[in-house]
DNA sequence: TCCGTACAATTTGGGTGCGAACGACATCTG
DNA sequence: CAGATGTCGTTCGCACCCAAATTGTACGGA
């Protein structure tokens, strides 16, 4: 199996490259495998259930959030779906065009936009989610329920660590230095 | 902490939505948290060490692969980096423009292209990787070495399950039906 | 009423991200 | 050595994706 072997091998090669500087192997393996697993799972779900419903991963996540939470403000949906508000604007417009989502202004605060599923959207989710959950079970088939709880808990700790101390950590690292603007993306005006 | 609570709550809401159809909670939690963790880790690393070096996540992964494995054929790099060949073409061209990567034809097989780091690229990685690994340790700070091994092993099983049985599973699910082309992407010619 | 601050979604710009289509090349087959 | 077949990297079209800039709304005080 190339997956595991290549990771181990890559770690050794990396250490050789660094010539004596110690590498935190276990931590590196966690991060590397989080990303590998995320890609593999996403790929599988897109190819098995989502493509048949003509949904991308992101579109499904957005639908799922709105479905489960009911009518919600866009900023909360973006937060929960793990995408930026700017991205959500585009995605929700696409879903609106397909008749799966409704967009409505907030009754009292004109700045807010509320998202909710149309009846067609509800129907789609009632049909697609069980299949989606079935594939979630497939990809985790080599873990029993106890293993799943352990892994999920470990991942939750990673998320919490970043959520609670990430900002502070970044400030410490940069140590007052300017936040280094992204090279890509919109440029500052003159 | 909103993270964990909202997931649990979302699961209950989802079950209520489904009205009696059982949901595989543990498996759902694993998939949801894999994706959350992947986003959180990527975000943190981009904002802490990569932006300072003017690298995106993907660009760094590509550089890392080439750095560790040495001069490599593009298809292997794409495979190892977890991106498609088409994406790699764009990323490697960007890196070439910045003088971090060299592209060379294969001596005997004219179809192949070999990627390798320039001296500037090597220098960058010697500087950036230790900082990167330091942040990998930061995001996993709430896990001890043993926990890390457990989580990494669990994730490896997910990856292996998909790699070894994903294709077969998809065929079973679609059961001979046409593979349902992606809605986005290049259209077939007349 | 006018102003300024605050905060909301949206637009914009650069860079991925995928899979289908494509053209160049290698290799098999006769 | 010509054609068929397969494999490579590249091109293409569309959808994301983020963060900065922008636009629009709310609401406080002067």
Say if CB B132 and CB B45 are below 8 A apart.
Answer: yes
DSSP-assigned beta bridge partners for residue A115: A72, A103
Bridging pattern class, strands B113-117 and B72-73? antiparallel
Bases of chain D below 7 A from a protein C-beta are 6-22, 24-27
Q: Which of residues 116-175 of A touch strand C (CB under 7 A)?
A: none
CA of A75 to C1' of D11 (A): 37
| pLDDT at site A15 | 76
Task: Give pTM, 2 decimals.
Answer: 0.90
pLDDT recorded at residue B4: 52
* Residue in this structure with the two tokens 């397909």, named with its chain if needed: A98
Kindly report the number of other CB atoms within 10 A of residue B13's CB atom: 15
Question: Residue B144: CB partners within 8 Å, gap ≥ 6?
Answer: none
Q: Is the pLDDT of residue A179 over 70?
A: no
Q: Look at residue A176 and tell me whether its pLDDT is greater than 70.
A: no
For residue A180, give the nucleotide whose C1' atom is nearest its CA: D19
Per-residue confidence (pLDDT) for residue B3, from 0 to 100: 46
Rounded CA–C1' distance between B109 and D19, in angstroms: 43
- pLDDT digit string (tens) for A69-109? 899 999 999 999 999 999 999 999 999 999 999 999 888 88
Does domain B13-168 fall into CATH 1.10.10.10?
Answer: yes
- pLDDT, one tens digit per residue, over A124-148 is 999 999 999 999 999 999 999 999 9
Which CATH architecture describes the domain A2-164?
Orthogonal Bundle (1.10)
The span from the CA of B47 to the CA of B44, in Å, is 5
Strand pairing category for B72-73 and A101-105: unpaired
User: Which DSSP state fits A132?
Assistant: H
Q: Does B112 touch chain A (CB under 8 A)?
A: no
- Residue A117 near chain B (CB below 8 Å): no
Q: Which parts of chain B register pLDDT below 50?
A: 1-3
**pLDDT value at position B12?**
77
Q: How confident is the model at residue A190 (pLDDT cuts 50, 70, 90)?
A: low
Residues 122-161 of A with CB under 7 A from strand D: none
Which pLDDT does position A3 carry in this prediction? Answer: 45
The pLDDT of residue B168 is: 86
Nucleotides of C under 7 A from a protein CB: 7-27
Q: What is the pLDDT of residues A23-42, one digit of tens each?
A: 888 999 999 999 999 999 99
Domain locations in chain A? 2-164
**Calpha distance A108→A26 (Å, rounded):** 52
- The answer, for B54 touching chain A at a CB cutoff of 8 Å, is yes
Cβ of A40 within 8 Å of Cβ of B68? The answer is no
Q: CA of A30: which chain B residue's CA is closest?
A: B152
What is the pLDDT at residue A8? Answer: 67
Say whether residue B53 is in contact with chain A using an 8 A CB cutoff. Answer: no
**Helices vs strands, H then E, count in chain B:** 7, 3
Mean pLDDT of chain A: 87
Q: Which secondary structure element, helix H or strand E, spans residue B157, and what is its range?
A: helix B145-174
The pLDDT value recorded for residue B190 is 53
Structure tokens at B27: 């498996």
The CA-atom distances, in angstroms, between A12 and each of A17, B79, B128 are 9, 19, 18
Model pLDDT, residue A2? 41
B residues 15-34 closer than 8 Å to A (CB): 17-18, 21, 23-24, 26-31, 33-34
pLDDT digits (tens, 9 = 90+) for A40-68: 999 999 999 998 899 999 999 999 999 99
């Amino acid at each position: 199996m190339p997956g595991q072997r290549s990771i181990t091998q890559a770690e050794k090669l990396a250490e050789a490259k660094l010539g004596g500087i110690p590498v935190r192997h276990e931590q590196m393996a966690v991060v590397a495998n989080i990303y590998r697993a995320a890609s593999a799972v996403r790929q599988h779900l897109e190819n098995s259930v989502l493509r048949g419903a003509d949904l991308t991963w992101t579109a499904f996540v957005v639908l799922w959030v709105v479905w489960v939470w009911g009518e919600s403000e866009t900023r909360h949906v973006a937060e929960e779906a793990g995408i930026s508000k700017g991205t959500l604007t585009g995605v929700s417009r696409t879903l609106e065009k397909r008749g799966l989502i409704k967009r409505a202004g907030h009754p009292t605060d004109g700045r807010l936009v509320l998202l909710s599923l149309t009846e067609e959207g509800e129907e789609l989710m009632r049909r697609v989610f069980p299949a989606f959950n079935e594939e979630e079970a497939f990809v985790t088939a080599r873990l029993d329920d106890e293993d799943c709880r352990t892994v999920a808990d470990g991942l939750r700790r990673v998320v919490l660590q970043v959520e609670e101390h990430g900002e502070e950590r970044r400030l410490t690292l940069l140590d007052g230095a300017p936040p280094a603007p992204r090279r890509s993306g919109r440029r500052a005006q003159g």
